[in-house]
């Protein structure tokens, strides 16, 4: 069993910063990619940032230059530094990992989500 536990969400004023963390635990053989998605009320879940095991990061234009993803492979942990936050960044942020839980089992896992609210 694999668990992803997020932390670091909260309420911040526009222009402020937050740092999210996600720790993966359980039966993990290898993580191929890990990252963040978000979902605002009435909207579809969208990509925020992902990073591969090789360190390649991907961001949509909406957060590029403001958000930075990083990982600590040894701790199976990923971080999301969010700067210059805008009210439109308000959403539930979910951690996602594509990983091998054994040499033969590959799946995508989700955390429970953490609320980020940016006030104007």
Residue 74 is encoded by which pair of tokens? 């040894």
Rounded to an integer, the average pLDDT of 1-26 is 96
Q: Is 56 exposed, middle or buried (0-12, 13-18, 19+ CB in 10 A)?
A: exposed
Alpha-carbon distance 28 to 74, whole Å? 12
Alpha-carbon distance 49 to 64, whole Å? 9
> For residue 62, which of 34, 77, 43, 78 has the smallest C-alpha distance?
43
| pLDDT computed for residue 82 by the predictor | 98
Question: How confident is the model over 48-68, as pLDDT tens digits?
Answer: 999 999 999 999 999 999 999
| pLDDT computed for residue 51 by the predictor | 96
Question: How confident is the model over 66-90, as pLDDT tens digits?
Answer: 999 999 988 899 999 999 999 999 9
| pLDDT computed for residue 74 by the predictor | 83
| pLDDT computed for residue 62 by the predictor | 97
In 3-state terms, what secondary structure has residue 90? coil
- Give the bridge partners for 81, in sequence order: 19, 68
């Amino acid at each position: 069993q694999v668990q992803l536990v997020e932390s670091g969400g909260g309420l911040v004023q526009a222009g402020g910063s937050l740092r999210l963390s996600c720790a993966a635990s359980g039966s993990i053989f290898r993580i191929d990619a890990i990252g963040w998605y978000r979902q605002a009320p009435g909207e579809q879940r969208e990509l925020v940032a992902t990073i591969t095991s090789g360190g390649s990061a991907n961001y949509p234009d909406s957060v590029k230059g403001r958000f930075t993803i990083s990982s600590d492979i040894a701790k199976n942990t990923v971080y999301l530094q969010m700067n210059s936050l805008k009210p439109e960044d308000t959403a539930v942020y979910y951690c996602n990992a594509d990983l091998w839980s054994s040499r033969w089992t590959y799946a995508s896992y989700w955390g429970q989500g953490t609320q980020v609210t940016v006030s104007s």
